[in-house]
Amino acid sequence: MPPHGPMKAPAKPKNAKGTFKRLIGMLSEHRMKLLLVALCIMVTSGVSAFGVYLLQPVYTMIGDLAAEYNATGVMPALTGLMRLLLAMALMYAASIACSYLLNRTMMMLSTSVLNRVRKQMFHHMEDLPIRYFDQRTHGEIMSRYTNDTDTLREFFSSTFPQAFSSLLSILFTLFFMIRLNGWLTLLVILLMPLMMMITKNIGARSGKNFVAQQKAVGALNGFIEETIEGQRVVQVFCHEEKAMEEFGKRNEDVRVAGTRAHTFASLLGPIMNNLSHCNYVLVTLVGVIMIITSRNNPDSVFSLSIATLLAFLPMIRQFSQPISNVAQQFNTIMLALAGAERIFDLMDEPVEEDEGYVTLVNAVKDEQGRIAESESRTGMWAWKHPHQDGTVTYTELKGDVVFEDVTFGYVPEKTVLYNISLYAKPGQKIAFVGSTGAGKTTITNLINRFYDIQGGKIRYDGINIEKIKKDDLRRSLAMVLQDTHLFTGTVRENIRYGKLDATDEEIERAARIANADFFIRHLPQGYDTMITGDGANLSQGQRQLLAIARAAVADPPVLILDEATSSIDTRTEALIEMGMDSLMNGRTVFVIAHRLSTVRNSQAIMVLEHGHIIERGDHESLIAQQGKYYQLYTGMFELS
Amino acid sequence: MQFFRLLKYAGKYKKYLILCPIVMIGEVVMEMLLPTITANLIDKVIPESAASGNITRVLLYGGLMLLMALVSMGFGMAGSRLSALGGMGFSRNLRQAIFEKVQKYSFKNIDKFSTASLVTRLTTDVNQTQNVVMMLVRMAVRSPLMMVMAIIMAFRMNSSLMPILLVTVPILLLAIVVIMSKAFPRFQIMMKKYDALNASVQENLIAIRVVKAFVRASHEKEKFEASADDVTATQRAAERVVIWNGPIMQILMNGSIIALLWLGGGQIIGGSMQLGALSSFIQYVLQILMSLMMLSFLFVSFVLARASVTRICEVLDEEPEIESPENAETEVEDGSIVFENVGFSYSGDASNLVLEDASFAIRSGETIGVIGGTGSAKTTLVSLIPRLYDVTCGKILVGGKDVRDYDIHALRNQVAMVLQKNVLFSGSIKDNLRWGNENATDEEIVAACQASAAHEFVQSFPGGYDMDLGQGGVNVSGGQKQRLCIARALLKKPKIIIFDDATSAVDTATDARIREALRKHMPETTKIIIAQRITSVMDADRIMVLNDGRIMDFGTHDELMQRSTIYKEVFTSQQKGVA
Contact A224 B123 (CB under 8 A): yes
Tell me which CATH homologous superfamily contains domain B2-158+273-317: ABC transporter type 1, transmembrane domain (1.20.1560.10)
Contacts of B562 (CB under 8 A, 6+ apart): none
pLDDT for B444 equals: 92
Do B214 and A263 make contact, defined as CB atoms within 8 angstroms? no
Q: Which residues pair with A458 in a beta bridge?
A: A403
> With an 8 Å Cβ cutoff, are B240 and A104 in contact?
yes
Asked if B46 has any chain A CB less than 8 Å from its own CB, the reply is yes
The predicted-structure confidence for B405-430, as pLDDT tens digits, reads as follows 999 889 998 999 898 777 788 888 99
Q: Which residues pair with A382 in a beta bridge?
A: A361, A396
**Using CB atoms, which residue from A119, A142, A236 is nearest to B419?**
A236
Confidence tier at A131 by pLDDT (50, 70, 90): confident
Q: Is the pLDDT of residue B42 over 80?
A: no
Could you tell me what percent of chain B has a pLDDT over 70? 97
Tell me which residue in B244, B373, B579 faces A569 most closely, judged by beta carbons.
Answer: B373
Backbone φ, ψ for residue B499 (5° rounding): -110, 110
SS3 of B246-293: HHHHHHHHHHHHHHHHHHHHHHHHHCCCCHHHHHHHHHHHHHHHHHHH
- The verdict on A408 and A374 lying in the same domain is no
Same domain for A340 and A461? no
Residue A284 has what pLDDT? 81
Interface mutation vs chain B, best among A69, A127, A134, A231, most B CBs within 10 Å: A231
Question: Closest-CA residue in chain A for B415?
Answer: A236
Answer yes or no: do A326 and A426 share one domain. no
If asked whether residues A607 and A572 sit together in one domain, one would say yes
Range with lowest mean pLDDT among A230-244, A295-309, A544-558: A295-309
For residue A221, the 8-state DSSP code is: H
* DSSP string for A162-176: HHHHHHHHHHHHHHH
What's the sign of the alpha-carbon dihedral A306, A88, B246, B302?
A: positive
Q: Is the pLDDT of residue A97 over 80?
A: yes
Tell me the nearest-neighbour CA distance from A69 into chain B, angstroms.
7
One domain, residues A158 and A118 = yes
pLDDT, tens digit, for every residue of A236-253? 888 888 899 999 999 999
Answer whether B252's CB lies under 8 Å from B164's CB.
no
pLDDT band at A639 (very low <50, low <70, confident <90, very high): very low
CB pairs under 8 A between A and B: 446
Is A256 contained in some domain?
Answer: no
Average pLDDT for chain A: 84
pLDDT of A8 reads: 36
B245 touches chain A (CB under 8 A): no
Mean local confidence (pLDDT), B530-559? 89
What tens digit of pLDDT does each residue of B467-486 get? 887 655 556 777 788 899 99
Asked if residue A445 and residue A383 are part of one domain, the reply reads no
For residues A445 and A564, membership in a common domain is answered with yes
Q: Minimal Cα–Cα distance from B333 to chain A, Å?
A: 19
Greater confidence (A65 vs A16) lies with A65
Contacts of A597 in chain B (CB under 8 A): 573-576
Query: A436-451 in b/e burial notation, b at 16+ Cβ within 10 A?
Result: bbbbbbbbbbbbbbbb
User: B42 and A273 in contact by Cβ < 8 A?
Assistant: no
Tell whether the model's pLDDT for residue B306 goes beyond 60. Answer: yes
Selected for mutation to probe chain B from A132, A224, A244 (highest B CB count within 10 Å) is A224
A451 inside domain: yes
Nearest Cα neighbor of A187 from A287, A92, A299, A38 is: A287
Give the range among A574-588, B29-43, B498-512, B523-537 with minimum mean pLDDT: A574-588
- Are A572 and A438 members of one domain? yes
| Helix, coil or strand: residue A2 | coil
For A399-503, strand residue ranges (E) read 401-408, 417-424, 429-433, 455-460, 463-464, 477-480, 489-490
pLDDT at residue B490, rounded to an integer: 92
Q: Where are the domains of chain B?
A: 2-158+273-317, 337-575
Report pLDDT digits (tens) over B209-246.
888 888 888 899 999 999 999 999 999 999 999 889 88
How confident is the model at residue B385, as a pLDDT?
93
- What's the pLDDT at B81? 93
* Higher pLDDT pick, A146 / B408: B408
Query: Does residue A580 sit in the same domain as residue A594?
Result: yes
B239–A638 CB contact, under 8 Å: no
Which runs of E-coded beta strand occur in B271-392?
Answer: 337-344, 355-362, 367-372
To the nearest 10°, report the CA torsion of B553, B556, B559, B560. Answer: 40
* Shortest distance, CA A252 to any CA of chain B (angstroms): 7
* H or E segment to which residue A152 belongs: helix A149-154
- Whether residue A626 is predicted with pLDDT greater than 60 in this model: the reply is yes
Can you say whether residue A447 is alpha, beta or left, with left for phi > 0 and alpha for psi between -120 and 50 degrees?
alpha
Q: β-pairing, A455-460 with B393-398?
A: unpaired
A595, A608: one domain = yes
Q: What is the pLDDT of residue A638?
A: 33
Number of helical (H) and strand (E) elements in chain B, helices listed first:
22, 10
Higher pLDDT, B366 or B377: B366
Residues in A touching B529 (Cβ below 8 Å): none
Identify all chain B residues contacting A107, using CB atoms and an 8 Å cutoff.
236, 239-240, 243
Domain membership of residue A313 (yes or no) is yes
Question: In angstroms, rounded to a whole number, what is the distance separating the alpha carbons of residues B235 and B178?
Answer: 18
Helical H segments across A230-355, by residue range: 231-236, 240-296, 306-348
Sign of CA dihedral A594, A600, A606, A609: positive
- Helix, coil or strand: residue B552: strand
Which class in CATH covers the domain with range B337-575?
A: alpha beta
User: Residue A317 has what pLDDT?
Assistant: 79
User: What's the maximum distance between 2 C-alpha atoms anywhere in chain B?
Assistant: 124
* pLDDT band with cut points at 50, 70 and 90 for residue B170: very high
Rg (CA), chain B: 36
pLDDT score, position A557: 85
Report chain A's C-alpha Rg in angstroms. 37
Those of residues 299-358 in B touching chain A at CB distance below 8 A are none
Residues B177-191 have pLDDT tens digits of 898 889 888 988 988
pLDDT recorded at residue A539: 72
Hey, are the CB atoms on B480 and A436 less than 8 Å from each other? yes
Q: Which residue has the higher pLDDT, A218 or A454?
A: A454
How many structural domains are present in chain A?
3
Using the beta-carbon criterion (under 8 Å), do A127 and B209 form an inter-chain contact?
no
- Reported as type and span, the H/E element at residue A371 is strand A371-373
Which chain A residues are closer than 8 Å to B105 by Cβ?
231
Interface with chain A: mutation pick from B95, B258, B269, highest number of A CBs within 10 Å: B269
Mutation target to probe the B interface, by most B beta carbons within 10 A, among A58, A232, A308, A563 is A232
Can you give the pLDDT at residue A104?
A: 92
Partner-chain residue, chosen from B472, B507, B573, that has the shortest CB–CB distance to A632: B507
Same domain, A610 and A581: yes
Residue in A97, A282, A636 nearest the CB of B539: A636
Beta-ladder partners of A558: A477, A588
Average pLDDT over every residue of A271-284: 83
pLDDT reported for residue A459: 93
Residue in A closest to B273 by C-alpha: A66
Asked if pLDDT for residue B260 goes beyond 90, the answer is: yes
Read off the CATH number of the domain in which A590 is found: 3.40.50.300
Is A535 within a domain?
yes
Chain B residues inside the 8 Å CB shell of A95: 250
Q: What pLDDT does residue A204 have?
A: 81
Q: Alpha-carbon distance A498 to A478, whole Å? A: 8
Average predicted confidence (pLDDT) for chain B:
87
A602, A470: one domain:
yes
Q: Which domain holds residue A392?
A: 359-396
Can you tell me the distance from the alpha carbon of B247 to that of A429, in angstroms, rounded to the nearest whole number? 73
For residues A55-82, average pLDDT: 88
pLDDT over 50 (residue A385): yes
So what's the ipTM on this one?
Answer: 0.82
Q: How far apart (Å, rounded) are the C-alpha atoms in residues B419 and B412? A: 13
Question: Do B205 and A142 lie within an 8 Å CB cutoff?
Answer: yes
Confidence (pLDDT) at A1:
34
Find the residue in A nearest to B475 (Cα).
A3
Contacts of B376 in chain A (CB under 8 A): 569
Q: Does B65 touch chain A (CB under 8 A)?
A: yes
